[in-house]
Amino acid sequence: MTDEKLIGRQDPIPEVPLKEKEEYLTLIEEFLGRQWLAKDNYGPFQQLWNRRDVLSTIELLSFGSALKTFKGKVTEGIYRKAANEIKSKDQGNSAAKIFEIVSSSMFENESQRIEIPKENNPGYDFLVNLKNGSKIRFSVKALLDSKHANEFKSFSQELNRDLPQMLNDHYSIFLIQQDFNITNKYSHSILKRGLREIIMKRSFGVPFVSQNNWILRLDKMEPMIGENFYNQKPSYTLLTLCPHQKNEQSRFYSKIQDACDNLKKHCSDVDNSSTNGIIIKVPDSIAISDATKWLNEFWDQQHDCISIVIIMRASYTSSDDLSQSWLTYEFSQVSNPKSKVQISELAPETLTVQVPIGKVSTSETKAIIHVYDKEVTLSGSYWYFSGRHIYQKPMELQNGNVTFNFKRLPNVHVSCVFTGFPDGDLEMSARFPPSEDLLIL
């Protein structure tokens, strides 16, 4: 076995032997198929497989590690069926199976062991055997971004693609839509026309409010201290915000209720040695604290065979000064006060969770961004942040090389144009992820 699959990839865990990392990537290739993975930008796995940045490697190695655990727990038939589900065009089923594989592997450690049921054993997705002999059956659910969230992101991406042709200087653009309605194309044209007007007028720092509830602000953007922007291609950042649609809570309840109904139908017998639980993944647009609050308002007597719900979300987080980044798995463990079996009695010790790369946290990562010297909280909103920063440096050779210290900015493409070359300007960029959105975790 060679480490050829890691050639050209940024390696997030150099301390782990190459052989082990190669094993994880080989498992994925054999599981999903080399030809299927080679389809460029076809789906999340193909995008990650064809990228070489650090975040793509983190996601693939994390899944490969989980896949190794999963493979050792199931029959060949279940293993192949899982591959087909992941490769299916049904995004919901694919995401659910990926999350089932990833989440179950987190509970396999020295303190507890997992079992994955046979195909004809409905009701739960995996079982955790605790050291004290107790068992918890878990139903796994993945809540994806809503239609409204996806439409808002799609529109924001469209606006981001149009911006470079609209700009005449270096700008920070902050946009809020009070009531997003993707079907209102007229509203979008109003926004773009208003944006063009304030760009032409260079109306910096003045809010623009349209008749369609758009609030828009434009500010002059300054480069990093000691650096200069390249004036032939405007640099910019774009932040768009929109409040949640009212159906986010009901979508969450629907997933929880579906798991409850299935467990009650097939696994209603609970006692002091065996009970049920739910693990649910929520998207970035839903705060863990909000989901925890919703869940505490959800319980009633019909859910008395469910002892615990674990709310989970993975995110790529950064230190305040952006000098460090890491993968964080956020967990919130919510007990059901109406359950026949209290989880504190069945499992006095906290369930143990382990991940191959990154950190596990019971504290919620704060989704904040600094806008005009103020902290803007992104929780409870759909949001999109992107941009490009293009710097300029004269050609100054140092030991035959030109250098520029690229500072990572989440979701912002950073490059530098070196001027003064005989054949014209040369633009170079570091290898950053195209986005810091996670595609499979």
What does the pLDDT look like over 374-397, one tens digit per residue? 676 777 788 888 988 888 877 666
Which pLDDT score is estimated for 79?
A: 94
Mark whether 93 and 1 lie in a shared domain.
yes
Mark whether 92 and 4 lie in a shared domain.
yes
Mark whether 165 and 91 lie in a shared domain.
no
Weakest-pLDDT range from 39-43, 286-290, 400-404? 400-404
CA distance 154 to 143: 19
Domain assignment present for 396: yes
Mark whether 233 and 378 lie in a shared domain.
yes
Domain assignment present for 126: no
Among 37, 71, 97, give the residue marking a domain's end.
97
Tens-place pLDDT, residues 49-79: 998 898 999 999 999 999 999 999 999 999 9
pLDDT higher than threshold 90 for residue 436: no
Domain assignment present for 423: yes
CA distance 70 to 115: 9
Mark whether 240 and 373 lie in a shared domain.
yes
Domain assignment present for 355: no
- Share of residues in the chain with pLDDT > 90 (%): 33
Among 74, 97, 120, give the residue marking a domain's end.
97
pLDDT higher than threshold 50 for residue 360: yes
Which pLDDT score is estimated for 1?
A: 37
Domain assignment present for 316: no
CA distance 279 to 142: 8
Burial zone of 307 (CB within 10 Å; 0-12 exposed, 13-18 middle, 19+ buried): buried
Q: Does residue 235 contact residue 170 with C-beta atoms inside 8 Å?
A: yes
pTM exceeding the 0.85 threshold for the entire prediction = yes
Domain assignment present for 190: yes
> Beta-carbon neighbour count of residue 425 at 10 Å?
13
Q: Does residue 62 contact residue 98 with C-beta atoms inside 8 Å?
A: no
- Enter the tokens of residue 251: 């979508």
pLDDT, greater one: 191 or 10 = 10
pLDDT higher than threshold 80 for residue 98: yes
Q: H-type helices in 14-89, by residue range?
A: 18-32, 34-37, 44-50, 54-71, 76-87
Q: Are strands 171-177 and 236-243 parallel, antiparallel or unpaired?
A: parallel
Which pLDDT score is estimated for 319?
A: 64
Domain assignment present for 289: no
pLDDT, greater one: 245 or 103 = 103
Tens-place pLDDT, residues 34-53: 999 988 667 899 999 998 89
Mark whether 239 and 373 lie in a shared domain.
yes
Question: Hey, what amino acid is at 54?
Answer: V
Q: Does residue 65 contact residue 72 with C-beta atoms inside 8 Å?
A: no
Tokens 């460090």 identify what position? 324
Parent domain of 411: 147-244+369-429
Q: Does residue 114 contact residue 128 with C-beta atoms inside 8 Å?
A: yes
CA distance 101 to 12: 22
Mark whether 8 and 80 lie in a shared domain.
yes
CA distance 326 to 307: 32
Which pLDDT score is estimated for 2?
A: 44
What is the CA 237 to chain-centroid distance, rounded?
20
CA distance 227 to 377: 29
Count structural domains, the chain.
Answer: 2
C-alpha pair distances (Å), 263 with each of 251, 270, 308: 19, 11, 12
Mark whether 14 and 157 lie in a shared domain.
no
Mark whether 156 and 92 lie in a shared domain.
no
Domain assignment present for 91: yes
Which element (helix H / strand E) includes 347?
none
> Beta-carbon neighbour count of residue 171 at 10 Å?
24
Q: Does residue 206 contact residue 216 with C-beta atoms inside 8 Å?
A: no
3-state secondary structure of 201: helix
Mark whether 7 and 76 lie in a shared domain.
yes
Nearest residue to 107 (alpha-carbon basis) of 122, 84, 74, 129: 129
Instruction: Kindly report the backbone phi and psi dihedral angles of residue 128, in degrees, each rounded to the nearest multiple of 5, phi listed first.
Output: -105, 120
Tens-place pLDDT, residues 6-34: 777 888 888 888 899 999 999 999 999 99
pLDDT higher than threshold 70 for residue 204: no
Mark whether 64 and 152 lie in a shared domain.
no
Mark whether 71 and 209 lie in a shared domain.
no
